[in-house]
Chain A
């Protein structure tokens, strides 16, 4: 962290987006995390993604639980709505918020402790329900705030800073999300923004539950030799399966894609997602194959990254529950509260 605020002066020729804003207009307060924290890079990637997508910050809600990762919403999108929940309860609050106001964009930021330990149940149900949100796990495999114990996502056999070996199997959030029916499952790395930013953009565009399990090295407690979530280890074992390009609806597609090695998907908001296959016979639309492939790559000691699974049939909780087409705050009181007669009718139907 730094004591001084980031100087407000900016490069006079910064690129501006369709709203006339620069990426710096999407910043939040100065981070208080350790210098070099991967989480800060993810915050920067979120800032850049929202800037590039011309999103008005006040139409975004950022939610988080407890932990280093969950502090970060303070450090990006200073003009957005925010909710810092009880430990592990962010998925539930996000589900409720999303049901109440379906027009906002929901970005949940959580950590490996918040998601894979105390919040595992909450997480699982948000996936099952297909809450329409982008859920980013800033996964460093360690409990940084309590000085570096192994977390539930820490890899089996990984070494702690003081030399202890992790005897437990890791919870693999990507596999879990695939099993629980997530429509959009990706893994990325805080040290590779060229991969991460398109994934965040695609995840925001996606209607349904979008998970990005983002490995984010903890420079203070988990970036040493023997760690499997260090900058060096992840870079050496990074197995990118697909390269993702996101082209917003309003832009023309200029790049040429070879049909044999690429897949193009148009999302509900018109954005085009191009997936260039790096693994030749990999099909990112086959849930079962994706799960098997991820397991296989991981068994080989590699870390599969990129957009691992994308369900072309976008669907979310609003669709499942057949909710009102507008946010609750846009309904007048008669529709919100239809009255005694309506209630009687409903009760009658249930008898």
Chain B
């Protein structure tokens, strides 16, 4: 293999698994160390700059960082990154003096943002400090989009959401709330310099099976029903509720139903338990609220008698391999299962819908009726129109919306300043030694063996009586500290300086994970078979040095490195050093922590 080019920012970035996995590339270990240091406000600001909604995301994020966490590979369970983010939000101090200044003198460019969800708000957050005038449209009277309408208050209290939304609106965003945009053409006619569409995936899928029409009064589309609850149009539901679907919306629906009077609430899913799209923890929380999940049940008929819903009939299936690497359903041939109920909530998926975008304005849609969007610039085929969040590339989640918002803001800024959209600003990267003394590092390198700490929950009896009572209480400072100590500091990189190495083997002998080897060079596949410990995770890089004096190379398998710094402590010549790699994704407003 060729020597690893550690000057390429993506090499060490990839080693920071959590940050690499995060769509917004939040510097996770950096803020976790600040939390352990009780510097909550600083930790919050790192998050706020990067992902805009730390309080919201600390409760609701889909946490792509956690499955990626190295700790999951070395100690089974990942660090509770998401809930530590919440700690930063819960314990932070006043940040008003840290927010960017908004120029009084505007730059003369007007940007329309359609839909006041996380994507649009991020664009506004990035562009307002640069002097842009942003006009935010939403059909609802309040900002927040799906964060308000689809996420129940027991998971995300309105006060938390309001605070983070208002931080952006208070920058002087012109809000045209309560105004449903029914024509993109008319918006474009308002002489905006750019239009950003962040309207989400607003349409819940329906289920057309026998009895659907007759049962209509007793069937609700999940996301619409959740919005009805959020905006207080709906406050009751029947005692027996069936929720169809296995995603996070289904989990929100069933738990909300329990709080609105549902006593026998059950979730029924076509697929198996492990296949369900809902996050592991969301399923656990639902089950903890006495909501059974029935798997491998395919709904066949809504049974209505005398104009009243009696229940739903299901066919039971087995999930078998489909020969393409997935699973498919095969009926078991057993008698259908009939479940009685008073109400059905459909949470079987969401779709994009753009009935308000004219098809003759130069904006191309693909065969699935989705706008054709450049994945990097988020520009549509209409040069002034950009898409982000669920509206851009199909349903994802809040953190993706924030990531899109940042990229769209860069594109809009470039467009307005006459810079090519492909001219993306580079990330800011620093790499600095953390050595403080012979055995002293600026970070805690004593590996904590503690298992993941559980976030305390509110008492179930109380929680089920009040749909606004937040279930998760969050870590207290003590638990937060102990959980933060589980972070392996993957951003503190093992940097190897070949010419200094005397090949004494000290690092090889001390490495607790056997990830360092000195071997004759070879191809990657070959090297992976010749290292001191199996290097089977091909997704993780091998760090290869230039050829050393003995004609061998140093090969380090990044996969299970604990970043404990033992190699550097045992190195007599400082050929190994622990250096902090701080990577900040570029933003339109040029901000970095």
How far in angstroms is the closest Cβ of chain A from B574? 9
A312 at interface, CB cutoff 8 A? no
- B136-181 residues with Cβ-Cβ distance < 8 A to A are none
Asked if B572 and A35 sit within 8 Å, CB to CB, the answer is: yes
- A22-64 residues with Cβ-Cβ distance < 8 A to B are 24, 34-38, 40-41, 43-44
B205 contacts which chain A residues (CB < 8 A)?
A: none
B327 at interface, CB cutoff 8 A? no
Name which of A4-12, A145-153, A165-173, A251-259 contacts chain B. Answer: A4-12
- Complex CA gap A254/B512 in Å reads 32
Asked if B447 and A235 sit within 8 Å, CB to CB, the answer is: no
Asked if A9 and B74 sit within 8 Å, CB to CB, the answer is: yes
- Complex CA gap A9/B506 in Å reads 19
A191 at interface, CB cutoff 8 A? yes
Asked if A14 and B512 sit within 8 Å, CB to CB, the answer is: no
- Quick one: given A4-B445, A7-B562, A235-B550, are A219 and B513 in contact (CB under 8 Å)? no
- Complex CA gap A7/B564 in Å reads 8
- Quick one: given A40-B506, A191-B505, are A11 and B549 in contact (CB under 8 Å)? no
Q: Which chain B residue shows the least CB distance to A1?
A: B439
A37 contacts which chain B residues (CB < 8 A)?
A: 504, 506, 572
Count A-side interface residues using an 8 Å CB cutoff: 34
Q: B-facing mask of A183-205, CB < 8 A → 1, else 0? A: 00000001101000000000000
Q: B-facing mask of A125-163, CB < 8 A → 1, else 0? A: 000000000000000000000000000000000000000
A232 at interface, CB cutoff 8 A? yes
Report the interface size class on chain B.
Answer: 20 to 34
How far in angstroms is the closest Cβ of chain A from B578? 13
How far in angstroms is the closest Cβ of chain A from B529? 13
- A182-236 residues with Cβ-Cβ distance < 8 A to B are 190-191, 193, 217, 219-220, 223, 231-232, 235
- Complex CA gap A191/B506 in Å reads 10
B514 contacts which chain A residues (CB < 8 A)?
A: 10-11, 14
B439 contacts which chain A residues (CB < 8 A)?
A: 1-4
- Give which listed residue, B75, B515, B549, B566, contacts A6 with CB less than 8 A: B566
B366 contacts which chain A residues (CB < 8 A)?
A: none
A11 contacts which chain B residues (CB < 8 A)?
A: 513-515, 533-534, 560
A250 at interface, CB cutoff 8 A? no
Q: Which chain B residue shows the least CB distance to A8?
A: B449
Asked if B506 and A41 sit within 8 Å, CB to CB, the answer is: yes
A24 contacts which chain B residues (CB < 8 A)?
A: 512
- Complex CA gap A223/B572 in Å reads 11
B536 at interface, CB cutoff 8 A? yes
Q: Which chain A residue shows the least CB distance to B560?
A: A11
A4 contacts which chain B residues (CB < 8 A)?
A: 439, 445-446, 564, 566, 569
- B257-292 residues with Cβ-Cβ distance < 8 A to A are none
Asked if B570 and A36 sit within 8 Å, CB to CB, the answer is: yes
A335 at interface, CB cutoff 8 A? no
How far in angstroms is the closest Cβ of chain B from A207? 30
Asked if A217 and B504 sit within 8 Å, CB to CB, the answer is: yes
B194 at interface, CB cutoff 8 A? no
- Quick one: given A11-B560, A36-B571, are A6 and B506 in contact (CB under 8 Å)? no
Asked if A9 and B75 sit within 8 Å, CB to CB, the answer is: yes
B564 contacts which chain A residues (CB < 8 A)?
A: 4, 7
Asked if A35 and B74 sit within 8 Å, CB to CB, the answer is: no
- Complex CA gap A181/B224 in Å reads 93
Interchain Cβ contacts under 8 Å between A and B, 17 examples: A2-B566, A3-B439, A4-B445, A4-B446, A7-B447, A7-B564, A9-B74, A10-B512, A11-B514, A11-B533, A12-B73, A36-B502, A36-B573, A44-B505, A190-B505, A223-B502, A232-B502
Give chain A's interface residues, CB within 8 Å of chain B. Answer: 1-4, 6-15, 24, 34-38, 40-41, 43-44, 190-191, 193, 217, 219-220, 223, 231-232, 235
Give chain B's interface residues, CB within 8 Å of chain A. Answer: 73-75, 439, 445-447, 449, 502-506, 508-510, 512-515, 533-534, 536, 549-550, 560, 562, 564, 566, 569-573
